Structures are given as C-alpha cells and as structure tokens.
Chain A
Amino acid sequence: MRFELTPRATVSPVARTLAPVAAFVTAFLIAGFVIWLMGRSPIAAFDVYVLQPLSDPWSLQELLVKATPLALIAIGLSYCFRANLWNIGAEGQYVMGAVLGGWLALRTHGTDAGFWVLPLMLLLGIVGGALYGLIPAFLKTRFNVNEILTSLMLVYVAQLTLDYLVRGPWRDPQGFNFPQSVTFDPAATLPPIVEAGRVHYGFVFAVIAVLVTAVVLGRTLFGYRLKLTGDAPRAARFAGFSSKVTALSVFAISGGLAGLAGISEVSGQIGQLQPSISPGYGFTAITVAFLGRLHPVGILIAALVVALTFIGGESAQILLKLPLDLTQAFQGILLLCVLAADALVSYRIRLVARGGGK
C-alpha cells in the first residue's frame, strides 16, 4: 500500500480557507480522544481551553498580550521563510534587541532624559536584533556557512550574554545582588494602549508590521523578488536579483522585528532586564509563522490561536488539573494537522495497492 500524490490543477479558494478549519477540528478530535483516554470529559476540556477564554474580556486582553511578540517575530520570519532561508535564531535576535535597547534604558536611568528615550530604545532594539540577525546572513552569503546552524548557535550565545550582563555589570546595585537590572524609568517604559491595561503598544507595532508586510508582499518588487527567490531561485537569478542582497535584507528585517519584540516586551511588560526575558517566543514564533502559512494576516490569527492554547493550557491546569504536557502535545498535533491539511488542498491524495504505478 502506498500514497500517491497528484497536484490539483486548480485550487479552490473555499478549500484553501476551509483547510485550516478542518485541521483544527481534526486536532481537537485527537486531543479530545486523548483526554477521554485519560478519563476526563473532552467537552469540559474544550470549554475550558477555548470557549471560556474567548468569552471573557480579561482573557481576551491576555490573548493580545501573549500574541504580540509571537506575531511580531513570526511576521519577520515569514520574510526569511518565503525566500527559503531558515532563520531558527529569532530567540537570540529577540534577546539582543532587548539588550541593546535595554542598555539605553539603564544608561538614562535616574537622569531626566526626556521623551526621546523610548523611541531611541525601540530603534536600538530593532538595530540590535537586525545586526545580530545579519551575522548568520553574512556568514551565509560571504562564506556559505549554513544559516540554520549559525542562527541556532547564536541563540545560546545571546542568552549567555544577557545572563552575564544582568549577573555582572548591569546588576541593580540596590537589588541585594540578585540577578536583575534596575526597574526602567517611566520615560523608558512602553505604555499600555489603554490606561491600566496590560496590552502595550507592541501590539500596535505588530498590527503595523502585518499591514506593511501585506503591502510589501503583494504590491512591491521586493515582495515579488522574495517569492521568486523562494519558488524558483534560478529564475530569480536570471531576473537579475542578487540572492546575497535578498538574504541580507530578509535576515535584517526578521532580526529587526524580533529585536523590536524583545525591547517591547522588556520595556512594556517586564520592566527590567533579567536572566530570562522570553519563554521561548523566538521558537514558538516559527510555529506561528507556519500555522499562519507565511501570510501576514494568517500569522496574526495564528499568533492569537497559539496564545489561546497557552492561556487555555493554564486554565486547564487550574480548573481541570490537566498536565501542561498535554497542551504542548496538542500544539504539536495542531501544527501537523494544519500543514497536512494545506497539502490536501494542493494535492489529490490516493491510497493505492502496492504495484500500481511508480
């Protein structure tokens, strides 16, 4: 018995839209079955995981908080992935953005530096992430070093750098030698959109990034160039597009957005530098980028969905005492289902008995 794939001549837009929905239903059915095997009620689980968070203003707000860095980073990654460049190191670029931006916050701490601190911090965040992202891009274009490896290795280096800084030179002198910096001044704090709310302006940046990306990909030469580089590299070369310039620019963009996410989180959410400033956003964002099928709006939706699984996962631990591992396993299954469903849209798949054709 074997699979046989035939590309579909035309792909109906309805099928393309319905595919992720079908994937969701499948993933939920699988998860429900597992929960049933564990002797719990799948319906109660669905209620706690999905319905309750979506029907409560508080958790809706938390959804945006959690989705913000994921969307920002994933949008950036979509540039790389579209050009078939595998930036696995967004986590490191996030950290370096936070480090460079945070440096300014610490330098201006206690001075009456004015309104310019915050914009400059954000800019430094972007620059820090972009420069760090350019390292693997440079090594790739200049020396042909594989970017998957270098970008990943640089994540560990970035984390250790931050660790060194907050335990050493940047430690709060009044903080009883605990490994954390001073708390940022108000001038260095990214304010919430709504007074006393939890959603900071990072979310606005994410929405802007989505809109700009939609325009860039759909309406500009650069967008066309990315698509061509990814789909038909040889044709792109014939068209006169330098693959080096493409590689450098997409890594700079994705690093910059990851850096922006980093400084936004540190300045808007955490309020200081500490050894751990990310629960793995840079890695989760890779999932988000694929879940959103590299499409800007899709990514925004995917970021919200992934945020929902995190929040639902916490609720499930509290209300149903379901283990965290179950949530993680579910995230994996969900992504597999979405990817598989995508393929189902593009190909006709048949199971044939062995021996039938090649």
Chain B
Amino acid sequence: MTTFEAILLTIVTASTPLLIAALGELVTERSGVLNLGVEGMMAMGAACSFAAAVSFDSTLLGVLAGVLAGAMMAALFALVVLGFAANQVGSGLALTIFGLGLSGLVGAPFVGARRDPIPPIDIPGLSDIPYVGRLFFEQDLFVYVSFALTILIALYLTRTRSGLTLRSIGENHTSANALGLPVLRTRFLAILFGGACAGLAGAYLALVYTRFWSPGMTAGRGWIALALVVFAAWRPGWLLIGAYIFGAATVLQLHAQAAQFGVPSQMLSAVPYLATIIALLLLSLRHGRAIGAPGSLGAPFVPDR
C-alpha cells in the first residue's frame, strides 16, 4: 500500500460516520423537521451498539441495537415535536443532552471491553485496480452502506412519489396538508430514519473506528453532521463531497504536523472548521441566494381546521 492510498483510506474512515449521520438528518430536514439531537442519538447508538455487541458477542446484533437505539431516541423527539408541536431547536438540544447522559449510564459497565476488528470486504478483481482499487473495493461494510445510502436517498428524493411527497411536505406543510398528504406520518418516519442513521453512525464509531466504548466518544461529530447538511444545501451528492472534504481536512492537518511544516497545531486543527465556512461562502457566492433550505424547516405543524 502506498502512502497515498493509506492516507485516502484514513480519510474514508474519518468521513464515513459523518456521512451516515448527515444523510439521516438530511432526510429528516427535507421533511421540514430540524433535529438538533444528532449528537445525542449518535452517542446512544455508540453505547447501545457496543453494549449489545459485547453482551451477545455479535457485531450484527450490535449494529442492530445501535440503529434501534437511535430510532428510539428519534421517536421520543418525534413525540414531542410532532405530538406536542414543541419547539424543534429546543427539543433537539434537549435530546442531545439527554442522549449524552443516558449513553453514559448504558455504557458504564462496558468500559475497558474491546471488540475485534471487522474484516474488510474485498471485492475480488476490482480491489486490484491501482490507486483506487483498495480504496473503493476493500472497505468494511459500513463504507459501502454509506455510499449506497447516498445514492438511494438521492434517487428516493428525486425519483419516487414518496420522496416527492416528503419534499413537498418539507417545502410547505400547509399546502401539502391541503392536498391531503400525510404530513405527520411522513415526518414521523423521516425523523425515525434520521435517528436510525445517527445510531448507525454511532455504531460505526464504537465498533469499527475505535472498537471500544468511552464516555463522550462522539466528541462533537453529531454537530459536524448537522453542519454538513446545511453545507450540502440539502443535497445528498453535495453531502458526500462535504463529508469527505471535512474528513480530509481533519486527517490532512495531522499529516501536515507529522510532515513538520512548523505551523501551530491549533491553527491546523482549526482548518476543517474554517474550510467548511469558506466552502459554504463560495457556494453561496456562486448561487447568490438562499440555497436549498426546505421552506417549512423548523416550523411546527398544526393543521388548521
């Protein structure tokens, strides 16, 4: 493996959890709901997946538990913001605080346990292509899932009837309701999907990325995922690019240090954040208008009657 390939591989692992969590949030936001609880759902996903994986000695059950935990957290959020039409920003924040706390309680007995690495899946033939072969065709399952999800979500949003329904509800829930579209049910499912993805991303962190659990191990990645959705202007394709830009900036700043450029490490650590702002600025400059935000994003829905 060349250094170049190795660096690319590291970038893939750093980007994948961001991408998965952000994809879920993208669908939720496209339905018009802003869920700031990604960090909390991710933390629960990490804790529950690790707890289950160790308890049952099964990675598969671990992943399922992570997804389920994320979805359960999302269901709680849905209850409050859909059932009670509560403020979404506040509720999302509450979900994050709650999830971080609860994940600590769930994970505490599993401190110090570890899991074996998940073997990468090698697609014979393709993985021998120079440079990109191993990068694209010898990864763990999660990476493939993240790519598949990106494509499927893009297709779902643009090519299916249900995706169209979801988008129109997100754009304007009042007229969607007048047209007889099931606003609350669609949003409920979209929120659940977002939670499941956040849980999956958490499971990736605990089972693949680090293979042990520790309190607060999400370390702000849920917030980055949220920022990426905005960055991508609510488009799955851009999200893929955004997640990889951020992942690359994170990894490359470490390489820049190892290569001894003599720049303060704090400045290098700030690069991913500044890069995101600048990229977003450039995007806005090109489009010159508000890009892509669903019209009803964040507004509670109460049908008039």
Contact = CB atoms under 8 A, between A and B. Distances in A.
Chain A directly contacts chain B within the complex, with at least one CB pair under 8 Å: yes
Interface of A: 2-3, 5-7, 81, 86, 139, 143-146, 148-150, 152-154, 156-157, 160-161, 163-164, 167-168, 286-287, 290, 323-336, 339-340, 342-344, 346-347, 349, 358
B77 to A, nearest CB: 8
- Interface size class on chain B is 35 or more
B180 A358 contact: yes
Given A323-B105, A323-B108, A347-B85, A287 B230 contact: no
A157 B85 contact: no
Contacts of A343: 80, 84-86, 300
Interface of B: 40, 76, 80, 82-87, 89-91, 93-105, 108, 177, 180, 184-185, 215, 223, 226-227, 230-231, 264, 266-267, 269-270, 273-274, 276-277, 280-281, 284-285, 288-291, 293, 300, 302-303, 305
A151 B93 CA distance: 16
Nearest to A286: B93
Contacts of A6: 302, 305
B100 A143 contact: no
B interface, by DSSP: helix, strand, loop or mixed?
A: helix
Nearest to B98: A332
Contacts of A290: 87, 89-90, 93-94
Nearest to B86: A339
Contact of A144 (B94, B102, B184, B284): B284
Nearest to A330: B101
A340 to B, nearest CB: 4
A305 B93 CA distance: 17
A117 to B, nearest CB: 28
A287 B93 CA distance: 7
A347 B227 contact: no
B277 to A, nearest CB: 5
A145 B91 CA distance: 24
B254 to A, nearest CB: 15
B85 A149 contact: no
B302 A156 contact: no
A336 B80 contact: yes
Across the A-B interface, the 5 shortest Cβ-Cβ residue pairs: A332-B98, A325-B104, A328-B101, A329-B101, A290-B90
A157 B270 contact: yes
B231 A149 contact: yes
A327 B277 contact: no
Contacts of B101: 325-332
Contacts of A161: 266, 270
Nearest to B292: A146
B83 A3 contact: yes
B95 to A, nearest CB: 7
Contacts of B293: 146
B80 A323 contact: no
A340 B86 contact: yes
B102 A145 contact: no
A5 B264 contact: no
Contact of A335 (B90, B223, B290): B90
B85 A5 contact: yes
A160 B84 contact: no
B114 to A, nearest CB: 21
A339 B81 CA distance: 9
Contacts of B291: 144
B97 to A, nearest CB: 4
B270 A332 contact: no
A347 B80 CA distance: 13
Given A139-B277, A342-B87, 20 more contacts: A5-B85, A143-B284, A144-B291, A145-B281, A145-B284, A148-B226, A150-B277, A153-B273, A160-B269, A161-B266, A287-B93, A290-B87, A323-B104, A332-B98, A333-B94, A340-B80, A343-B86, A344-B84, A347-B302, A349-B84
Nearest to A155: B273
Given A153-B277, A333-B98, A339 B87 contact: yes
Most buried by A among B94, B100, B102, B293: B94
23 contacts: A2-B185, A7-B302, A143-B281, A143-B285, A164-B266, A290-B87, A290-B94, A325-B100, A325-B101, A325-B104, A328-B100, A329-B104, A331-B94, A332-B95, A332-B97, A332-B99, A332-B102, A333-B94, A336-B86, A339-B86, A340-B84, A342-B86, A342-B87
A36 B276 CA distance: 46
Contacts of B96: 332
A168 B305 CA distance: 63
A324 B97 CA distance: 12
B277 A154 contact: yes
A144 B284 CA distance: 7
B78 to A, nearest CB: 10
A157 B278 CA distance: 13
Contacts of B84: 5, 339-340, 343-344, 347, 349
A326 B100 CA distance: 10
Contacts of B226: 148-149, 152
A329 B270 contact: no
Contacts of B97: 287, 328-329, 331-332, 335
Contacts of A327: 101
A249 B215 CA distance: 39
A70 to B, nearest CB: 14
Contacts of A150: 277, 280
A218 B226 CA distance: 35
A145 B97 CA distance: 27
